[in-house]
Structure 1
Amino acid sequence: MVDYEVTVFTGSLDHATTYNDVYIKLVGTDGESHRTRLIDYKGPLAFIKGAVSSFTVSCSVSIGKLVLIELDKQRFSLFPEEDWFPAKVEITSPEGDTYTVPIHRWITDSEVHRFREGTALRAFEDNHHLGRYSREKELKWRKKEYRMIELKLEGLANCKKKWKDMHHLNRAFWHKTHMADYVQKHWKEDVFFGYQYLNGINPMLIRRCTALPSNFPVTDNMVFLHGQSSLGEEMKKGNIFLVDYKLLDGVKPNVINRKKQYLMAPLVLLHKTPQDQLMPLAIQLKQTPADDNPIFFPTDSEYDWLMAKIFVRSADFNIHELNVHLLRTHLLAEVFTVSLLRNVPMVHPLYKLLIPHTRYTLQINIMARLLLISKTGVFTEYAASGGEGMITILRRSMSSMTYSSLCIPDDIAERGLEDVPNFHYRDDGLRLWHIINRFVQGVLGYYYKNDAEVKQDSELQKWISDIFVHGFLSKKSTGIPQSFTSVAELVKFVTMVIFTSSAQHAAVNSGQYDFDGWMPNAPSSLQRPPPTKKGTTNENTMLDTFPDVNTTVKGMATVWLLSKQSTDFVPLGQYPTHHFTEETPCKLMKEFQERLEGFEAHVKARNGNLGVPYTYLNPVEVENSVSL
């Protein structure tokens, strides 16, 4: 007889405990053990939350190298069946070899569950017949459990009164963060209006302007009084920038509290001053030039100019929430996640690398569908783009999304923003991209030594194929790979997946209450049309245009919840569940964490010298996954 020492680690999650009887079978290259009930001196306490319990499993002869284990639990007598969350199992063989089997999964029934020994294996390396069988069975179950959800892109809470005055609105701003307080004090200022395009929650629209659009007829004498400069000269210097909300043109606005709402598709021209500030030069609120569509300038009356900026900020709120936030982080992360779960087994190195970046993504997206964008959802009922407009914006956003726009080095270059000063989203984002890329290169380079190994990995190819078909609707124009042909191509794509699911989501999510909690800076909707001629606005016009009290309060509460850090937040690079067991990926993981710590120190030092700190891409503030 030979003895195997089996150590079972029960997870530390709430309700991880089971008092059911637990059975194990060890399967190796040369044989297998009998199904054995795990009993030790702890008795029924062997599998309580956080327990580490050791057992002996005896075999008549050595089973060779461990391939997998089979686990099941059976209720004892009249006791109820209980869920159980084993974290991992370690097995020491009579030859002195130690094997680790990662589990990190709930077992909720009395069926037999197979879990692979922890060494990562690609499909073409899996030579044991039981290993291949368990791999196929796992993916068959996953395909049944996880399905692509079609987006159907083709086809003072009860008060409905207006705000009386700004004092009334100020009193409703009940909860303030440091940044939200700053926004309330500075929202009217041009310098802060420009700042938000770089370091607010939507840094994705601004681009360098080398030629004015034909539908934005701004002339030199409109923006450069006394001929001190010209648009042509400033464009040549790289000092003119454009934000175009054309994606909102013609979108049918919502009806809220039985009142028609208004959503513009503005064009905004900005100028980098010698003081390195980004200042708005001109605003046109509709796409088509006309006598009743004036171009507004900072030299206009206080409320003419302020109202123009308010309509821009409302457009920005709507395009940010639906395109930049919902589509380009939440829904993309869902596609990456579902394809991973359907096509890649636990033993695969890609699964081990990406699974921490999928935590809670499906759960939070289901909640969003139920509570935010359903027919009775908060966004549907209280945003200008809710209802029919939401479908139009999502459809247009899908058609304009490209692979390069999801890769921050390519995106920054395409928008001509490489040398814009004080652009902290760019600086921190690029640094995080390169840190993630180095980690991904190390891990995937360890498993894939050449391009041929990438090409022959059928599970890897199914993963990207599903993403291309279901996430990008099989459109070659997006630039998304249909298959992987090289290690470099794989590394870049996986870097994008991790960056999107962690850093990019943090950049466009975490500051929602900071920037949008004070409604005048980001109205979810506006209920009067924009002025058609100048000199007709005042404070009462602004108050009449703002959303009603209930719309404001619903929006404020929603962005507060969306940007609130979860109680079990896991920062980027931390891995409470260990899926890799080999020395090299574990070492690379530690180096990844050390580089993130170094970058965290850099961000803190930089922020100490800023009047307005940029914190959203500090690694300790970036969650590993889209989980909120």
Structure 2
Amino acid sequence: MNSMYEVTVTTGDISQANTYNKVFITLVDTDGKKSDHTWLRSKNGVASFSIGAVSTFPVSSPASLGNLLLIELDKQPNPPFPEDSWFLSQVTVKSPEGDTYNFPVYRWISDGQVHQFREARALRASEDITVTGMDWRKNDLTQRMDDYSWDVYIDGIAHCMKADSPLSLPCEVRSTFTRTIQMGYTVLKGLVELKLKGLADNQENWTHIDDIEQVFCYRFTHLSDRVQNLWRNDAFFGYQFLNGVNPMIIQSCTVLPENFPVTDDMVFPSGQCRLEDEMRKGNIFLCDYKLLDGVITNVINDKKQYLAAPLILLHRTANDTLMPIAIQLKQKPAEDNPIFLPTDSEYDWLTAKIFVRSADFNMHQLNFHLLRTHLLAEVFAVSLLRNLPMVHPLYKLLIPHTHFTLQINFLARQLLISDDGVFTKFAASGGEGMITIMRRAQSSLTYSSLCIPDDITERGLDSVPNFYYRDDGLRLWDIIHRFVQGLLGHYYKNDAEVQKDSELQSWIQEIFEHGFLSKDSAGFPRNFNTVAELVKFVTMVIFTGSCQHSAVNSGQYDYGGWMPNTPTSLQQPPPTTKGTTSKATMLQTFPDISTTVHGMSTLWLLSRQYSDFIPLGHYPNKHFTEEIPRKWIHDFQEDLKRLSDDIKARNKSLDIPYTYLDPAVVENSVAI
């Protein structure tokens, strides 16, 4: 007598997730015994697999199956309907004995091939002891190695996934239809607006600074409006090094660099302080853009562009305000490289700050944004997809934090940093300079600089007041670390289990080779020997792809929507003598109209939050079904909610709220 199983199929609740095809299923137990190959059909017809549908079907087996291990799914054209793509969320099977088996899928199925999916319980390779399970694991990883291959986009920087187009990416890692349409609309709307205003191809210089306000009359944020009023202010200039879009370059200064010969008379002319004393007290800070030194700059609209490699000295005042006190625009001290001071003429000092802000844009975009979040997140994702089967606990933990990353990075290489990309065409460091900076940035990359507790300490910033990136970031790191420690601790009871997990070791070995280019001296692990090492590294992976990316991405239009605060490029060289600047020379130095508007349009695109945004710690795809990991996820979400409430309460008392690390607005992955 046949045994009857109750199979419930959930179609994804996203645009175009439905299918009109015939869907077939086979149940497989741990011994490899199979049910009938069953066409899932009901009186509801094709509506059984409509968007968000939850439909139940009977499936028979000629003999009672043991514990279920796999389902095999395929779909075939259903004339007159053609073959289509179907997003299957999950399948639940109830046995005649009353046992329930869960099969998380969360994949697009677009062909007529048979696809196998594992029962949800997370298992390390050493726990997957059945022949059927071991065979599936081997076959799954073999297929993944074929689907996900490494490629080198630029020699000397982190590697990427090999793909010819977004459509060549495996369906499981592509963006949703909704995200693709919304991003395309944002781009198109911006270009049409610029064309209609005659700005997109206008190569003239700005003649009045107020005209910049008319670029996007209706595209502004609360902070971008504030920046327009504050950008000349020294306190705001200093504030941005802590809580702007690039809080990564400032460091405590205990000894002046030899190539920055600042004296007491320069910065404390009235003799109220001494540099040596203030450095000893921890009140002096340095920003050094030496990675930009000697970079070959771009030619935009047939005009040579300029990029400084400045050093900036800042002083924490008695009221805890960070004030710039000296700026040197080139690395090598010389008579034609003056140290600019707040006591200089208005436009000498303002021009020096403009060159700093332009340098910061280029350093931020290539080093701290592109390399240290986007490209590293891609390395983590590709290695995950190549080396860990979907039943592995680390796969289940990290796969939500790879959402959209591979496609958004492909688009970045295609649309932003390609030969015809926006960054290549409209940034001072576009082209050859970009490659130089990225190689230097890769060479300077260290493991500790990716771990915010270590990074803050190394930069000497533990006690700087009003440093909200640090405050929120450290709390986020602790929350993520506690979550990862609890969840992975459930699967790895001791260090030996970590050491013996060959799939886990393959994951970190490929990251070491393809992400960190096998650089031992930078402190990156090439294998894991302890649970603690694993937990720290996974914490870094999640923090980098969610929190750190939010910190250096979400505020781009806030601080760059007013171009004078963040010029993508400059058309005049840094001044070589004091007293040669004016309002007119400032306008001539700014990027031309076309360069300005393309830069602003791109920052607007990259700063948007789209309707399919998934906040940190939210996992609509339920890869874990066991009680203990689900409890850790719940506790993680509660901790994030408490932090979000605390940040919102603090921000009510701030003149400029710091929102970029509020968990409610931190996306779960590098998805934009």
Q: Please indicate the TM-score interval, normalised by the length of the shorter structure.
A: over 0.9
Q: Does 1:496 align with 2:540?
A: yes
CA deviation digits over 1:285-327, x for unaligned, max 9?
0000000000000000000000000000000000000001000
The answer for the alignment partner of 1:401 in structure 2 is 445
Give 5+ residue unaligned stretches, structure 1: none
Q: Does 1:157 align with 2:159?
A: no
Q: Per the alignment, in what secondary structure is the counterpart of residue 150 of structure 2?
A: coil
CA deviation digits over 1:99-155, x for unaligned, max 9?
100000011111111000000011111112222222222222221221223131349
The answer for the alignment partner of 2:23 in structure 1 is 22
8 Å CA contact 2:36–2:62 kept in 1: the answer is: no
- Give 1:475 shift: 0.5
Cα distance in 2, alignment partners of residues 8 and 607 from structure 1: 45
Cα distance in 1, alignment partners of residues 543 and 17 from structure 2: 31
Which of 452, 470, 478 in structure 2 is aligned with 1:434?
478
Q: Which amino acid aligns with 1:372?
A: L
8 Å CA contact 1:207–1:417 kept in 2: the answer is: yes
The answer for the alignment partner of 2:172 in structure 1 is none
- Give 1:261 shift: 0.7
Q: Per the alignment, in what secondary structure is the counterpart of residue 105 of structure 1?
A: strand
Q: Per the alignment, in what secondary structure is the counterpart of residue 537 of structure 1?
A: coil
Match runs of 1:68-83 below 5 Å: 68-83=70-85
Q: Does 1:11 align with 2:12?
A: yes
The answer for the alignment partner of 1:139 in structure 2 is 141
8 Å CA contact 1:83–1:107 kept in 2: the answer is: yes
Which of 50, 53, 56 in structure 1 is aligned with 2:55?
53
- Give 1:540 shift: 0.3
Q: Which amino acid aligns with 2:17?
A: A
Q: Per the alignment, in what secondary structure is the counterpart of residue 324 of structure 2?
A: strand
Which stretch of structure 1 is more off in the superposition, 143-152 or 196-205? 143-152
- Give 1:226 shift: 2.2
Which stretch of structure 1 is more off in the superposition, 10-19 or 164-173? 164-173
Cα distance in 1, alignment partners of residues 612 and 45 from structure 2: 31
Cα distance in 2, alignment partners of residues 286 and 626 from structure 1: 34
- Give 1:92 shift: 1.1
Q: Does 1:64 align with 2:66?
A: yes
- Give 1:32 shift: 2.1
Q: Which amino acid aligns with 1:44?
A: V
Q: Per the alignment, in what secondary structure is the counterpart of residue 106 of structure 1?
A: strand
- Give 1:79 shift: 2.9
Q: Which amino acid aligns with 2:214?
A: R
Which of 181, 184, 195 in structure 1 is aligned with 2:225?
181
Q: Per the alignment, in what secondary structure is the counterpart of residue 24 of structure 2?
A: strand
8 Å CA contact 1:4–1:91 kept in 2: the answer is: yes
Match runs of 1:61-140 below 5 Å: 61-140=63-142
Cα distance in 1, alignment partners of residues 100 and 355 from structure 2: 64
The answer for the alignment partner of 2:643 in structure 1 is 599
8 Å CA contact 2:550–2:666 kept in 1: the answer is: yes
Q: Per the alignment, in what secondary structure is the counterpart of residue 282 of structure 1?
A: strand
Match runs of 1:531-570 below 5 Å: 531-570=575-614
Q: Which amino acid aligns with 1:446?
A: H
8 Å CA contact 2:156–2:442 kept in 1: the answer is: no
The answer for the alignment partner of 1:257 in structure 2 is 301
- Give 1:173 shift: 5.0
Which stretch of structure 1 is more off in the superposition, 226-235 or 422-431? 226-235
Q: Which amino acid aligns with 2:439?
A: R
Cα distance in 2, alignment partners of residues 436 and 364 from structure 1: 24
Q: Does 1:471 align with 2:526?
A: no
Cα distance in 1, alignment partners of residues 12 and 230 from structure 2: 48
Cα distance in 1, alignment partners of residues 216 and 455 from structure 2: 36
Which of 37, 40, 53 in structure 1 is aligned with 2:39?
37
What is the RMSD of the two structures over their aligned residues, measured on CA atoms?
1.1
Cα distance in 2, alignment partners of residues 400 and 115 from structure 1: 42
Cα distance in 2, alignment partners of residues 50 and 171 from structure 1: 44
8 Å CA contact 2:30–2:132 kept in 1: the answer is: no
The answer for the alignment partner of 2:173 in structure 1 is none
CA deviation digits over 1:184-208, x for unaligned, max 9?
0000000000000000000000000
Q: Does 1:215 align with 2:248?
A: no
Q: Per the alignment, in what secondary structure is the counterpart of residue 552 of structure 1?
A: helix
Q: Per the alignment, in what secondary structure is the counterpart of residue 343 of structure 2?
A: coil
The answer for the alignment partner of 2:183 in structure 1 is none
Match runs of 1:322-341 below 5 Å: 322-341=366-385
Q: Which amino acid aligns with 1:169?
A: I
The answer for the alignment partner of 1:481 in structure 2 is 525
8 Å CA contact 2:9–2:54 kept in 1: the answer is: yes
Cα distance in 1, alignment partners of residues 212 and 85 from structure 2: 49
- Give 1:598 shift: 0.6
8 Å CA contact 1:148–1:335 kept in 2: the answer is: no
Number of residue-to-residue matches in the alignment: 628
CA deviation digits over 1:179-231, x for unaligned, max 9?
00010000000000000000000000000000000000001111111211100
Identity %: 64
Which of 223, 230, 237 in structure 1 is aligned with 2:274?
230
Cα distance in 2, alignment partners of residues 518 and 77 from structure 1: 56
Q: Per the alignment, in what secondary structure is the counterpart of residue 28 of structure 2?
A: strand
The answer for the alignment partner of 2:338 in structure 1 is 294
Which of 292, 314, 317 in structure 2 is aligned with 1:273?
317
The answer for the alignment partner of 2:553 in structure 1 is 509
CA deviation digits over 1:470-496, x for unaligned, max 9?
001100012111001111100000000
The answer for the alignment partner of 2:164 in structure 1 is none
CA deviation digits over 1:364-389, x for unaligned, max 9?
11111111000010100110000100
Q: Per the alignment, in what secondary structure is the counterpart of residue 270 of structure 1?
A: strand
8 Å CA contact 1:173–1:518 kept in 2: the answer is: no
- Give 1:453 shift: 0.6
Aligned structure 1 segments of 4 or more residues deviating by more than 6 angstroms: none
Cα distance in 1, alignment partners of residues 214 and 16 from structure 2: 43
- Give 1:78 shift: 4.1
- Give 1:41 shift: 2.9
Cα distance in 1, alignment partners of residues 406 and 633 from structure 2: 25
Q: Which amino acid aligns with 1:134?
A: W
Cα distance in 2, alignment partners of residues 376 and 303 from structure 1: 35
CA deviation digits over 1:537-591, x for unaligned, max 9?
1100100111100000010101000101122100001111110111111111111
Give 5+ residue unaligned stretches, structure 2: 158-198
The answer for the alignment partner of 1:172 in structure 2 is 215
Q: Per the alignment, in what secondary structure is the counterpart of residue 426 of structure 1?
A: helix
Q: Per the alignment, in what secondary structure is the counterpart of residue 85 of structure 1?
A: strand
The answer for the alignment partner of 1:244 in structure 2 is 288
Q: Does 1:620 align with 2:622?
A: no
Which stretch of structure 1 is more off in the superposition, 143-152 or 325-334? 143-152
